[in-house]
């Protein structure tokens, strides 16, 4: 089961709130399903309904994660005004099927909602996670 360190969970919420009303995104790393590091990436779309990671920053971050001896475990992004479920665009653009997709809904800004999914060949499956 995926485990997220509480400071990482809180950092995603802070990033989502700071970027509101636009989608924010980033990479999450750690070891063996345990997320211990948060890497925010600039959303070049600057959109409330879509994200695209800045390519150079994304690649540099992936190289940094590898150089630090960590595993890239997940991609996260926010849905500022929608539910924490993958959109049709999220499903179509799930280019890393080996990674967990975390979606943070800020529809209720006082009560953010985070859900985790795998998206493999357009098949979406919710997966459990814990925050500790």
Structure tokens at 13: 């919420």
Q: Measured between alpha carbons, how far is 5 from 27 in angstroms, rounded to an integer?
A: 14
Q: Measured between alpha carbons, how far is 1 from 9 in angstroms, rounded to an integer?
A: 16
CA distances (Å), origin 104, targets 52, 56, 63, 97: 16, 24, 25, 19
Catalytic residue among 10, 23, 121, 126: 23
Q: Does residue 54 carry a catalytic annotation?
A: no
Where in the sequence numbering do the catalytic residues fall?
23
């Amino acid at each position: 089961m995926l485990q997220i360190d509480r400071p990482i969970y809180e950092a995603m919420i802070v990033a989502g709130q700071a970027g509101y009303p636009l989608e924010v995104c980033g990479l999450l790393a750690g070891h063996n399903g345990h997320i211990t590091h948060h890497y925010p990436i600039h959303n070049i779309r600057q959109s409330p309904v879509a994200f695209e990671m800045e390519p150079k920053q994304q690649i540099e971050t992936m190289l940094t994660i590898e150089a630090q001896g960590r595993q890239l475990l997940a991609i996260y992004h926010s849905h500022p005004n929608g539910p924490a479920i993958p959109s049709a665009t999220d499903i179509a653009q799930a280019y890393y099927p080996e990674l967990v997709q975390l979606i943070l809904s800020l529809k209720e800004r006082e009560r953010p909602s985070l859900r985790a999914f795998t998206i493999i060949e357009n098949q979406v499956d919710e997966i459990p996670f814990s925050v500790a």
